[in-house]
């Protein structure tokens, strides 16, 4: 039997609250208890507590020091640096995730996403998670086991979408292109006719290869084949023209940590009425409760019924996202698109003047936000990125997925998209090429 002794009162009077492992709480007045009885209880309590609080893991020494975070310029494919305004918004004291004021902020976020996506879709929200979570949310809510999905695969994001589709139990069909290439309407129509999918996935900004996909005509093509169009715009939103409604995109998602200069942790997503019909008339439950649009649509005010608790939202991340979308709205999408295109071209010229080769040959297919360079012959890509990090505190990265070992990736996104940063990374690359040893093979 274990006991808990609770002391209450002041010096003049001491009351003991004794609770055995079973039975009611017993109050014992010190004045009525013998000192011997009291001593025995205290001795028993001491032994009991020593057993129950026998710590085997000491406090980590690393956590007894102040948090240390280096200052770096993030010029990779993401995340990007956060603006002071967004950082300040994210640092505010939280409120409850089900407070009316929080719902107002969520409504403002919804309006901001509608502007960024150029859509009037009612089912527009931010997933609690990264762009991966939004990708999975789209696929698990639309697809049911046994249904056919067609994945346009010219980089890592098509690979990830195919993986998720397989986990759902869908019949995954792949339309494959070599990394660095994009898809034509003829490519897509041929595959739609052959596989008859209920959903077609394609990436607008393929950050692993540096390709931007022309989306014009794909939506109407999918509609004519009774197929929903799902587009990944994580790396392109705000940096390249995108019109969800006019381009007849049924489902569109993005991320917070790139052009929006927001901390990772929220992912904008939107579904049109065609997609909603598919989602809310499915025969089986989505394979994820956390990402179930039946719950999330209510939480974000889609059906105008009282909002119900589903999960605890990342409140400070939503504060930051709200502010990032406000900045985008203030500065204007067209200005953002122009800025990213002009500075990307400026960077491209500087890289070519340095003797480096751009990975994407066709200028019209180059993603404005993420530039890919073929790894210079004779160099190890890690030597270059490590040198630049060590000597300049600048992050650029190597390839991802099918482009590992093939490319270096440079990101100019949001507040980082400046000619000064382009000049800085060019100078750092020039220095790295002069100091890094060439490999022997």
Q: What residues are designated binding site?
A: 409
Binding residue numbers for substrate:
409
Q: Which structure tokens are listed for 72?
A: 């770096």
Contacts of residue 176, Cβ cutoff 8 Å, sequence gap at least 6: 153, 154
Q: Give the span between the Cα atoms of 297 and 288, in whole angstroms.
A: 14
Contact by Cβ (8 Å): 249, 274: no
Gap between the terminal Cα atoms of the chain: 73
Exposure class string for 296-311: b at 16+ Cβ within 10 A, else e: bbbbbbbeeeebeebe
- Residue 77's nearest CA partner among 291, 228, 264 is 264
Which DSSP symbol is given to 80? P
Q: Give the span between the Cα atoms of 112 and 93, in whole angstroms.
A: 22
Burial of 48 from C-beta contacts in 10 A (0-12 / 13-18 / 19+): middle
């Amino acid at each position: 039997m274990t006991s808990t002794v609770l002391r209450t009162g002041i010096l003049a009077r001491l009351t003991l609250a004794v609770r055995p492992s079973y039975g009611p709480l017993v109050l014992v007045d010190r004045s009525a208890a013998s000192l011997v009885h009291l001593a025995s209880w205290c001795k028993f309590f001491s032994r009991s507590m020593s057993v129950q609080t026998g710590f085997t893991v000491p406090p980590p020494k690393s956590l007894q020091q102040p948090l240390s975070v280096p200052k770096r310029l993030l010029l990779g494919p993401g995340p990007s640096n956060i603006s002071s305004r967004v950082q300040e918004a994210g640092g505010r004291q939280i409120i409850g995730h089900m407070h009316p004021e929080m719902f107002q902020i969520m409504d403002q976020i919804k309006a901001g996403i509608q502007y960024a996506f150029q859509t009037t879709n009612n089912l527009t929200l931010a997933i609690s998670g990264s762009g991966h979570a939004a990708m999975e949310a789209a696929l698990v809510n639309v697809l049911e086991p046994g249904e056919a999905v067609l994945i346009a695969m010219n980089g890592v994001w098509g690979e990830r979408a195919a993986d998720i589709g397989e986990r759902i139990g869908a019949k995954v069909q792949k339309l494959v292109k070599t990394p660095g290439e994009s898809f034509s309407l003829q490519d897509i129509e041929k595959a739609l006719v052959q596989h008859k999918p209920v959903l077609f996935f394609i990436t607008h900004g393929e950050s692993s290869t540096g390709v931007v996909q022309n989306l014009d005509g794909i939506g109407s093509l999918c509609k004519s084949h009774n197929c929903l169009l799902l587009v990944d715009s994580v790396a392109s939103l705000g940096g390249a023209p995108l019109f969800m409604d006019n381009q007849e995109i049924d489902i569109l998602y993005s991320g917070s940590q790139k052009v929006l200069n927001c901390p990772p942790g929220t992912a904008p997503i939107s579904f049109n009425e065609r997609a909603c019909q598919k989602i809310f008339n499915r025969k089986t439950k989505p394979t994820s409760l956390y990402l179930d649009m039946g719950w999330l649509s209510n939480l974000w005010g889609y059906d105008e019924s009282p909002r119900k608790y589903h999960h605890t939202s990342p409140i400070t991340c939503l504060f930051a996202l709200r502010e990032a979308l406000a900045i985008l709205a203030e500065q204007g999408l067209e200005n953002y698109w122009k800025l990213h295109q002009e500075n990307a071209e400026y960077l491209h010229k500087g890289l070519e003047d340095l003797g480096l080769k751009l990975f994407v040959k066709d200028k019209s297919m180059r993603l404005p936000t993420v530039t890919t360079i073929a790894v210079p012959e004779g160099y190890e890509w890690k030597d270059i990125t490590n040198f630049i990090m060590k000597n300049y505190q600048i992050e650029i990265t190597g390839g991802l997925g099918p482009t590992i070992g093939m490319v270096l990736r440079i990101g100019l996104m949001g507040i980082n998209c400046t000619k000064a940063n382009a000049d800085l990374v060019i100078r750092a690359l020039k220095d790295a090429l002069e100091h890094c040893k060439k490999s022997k093979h």
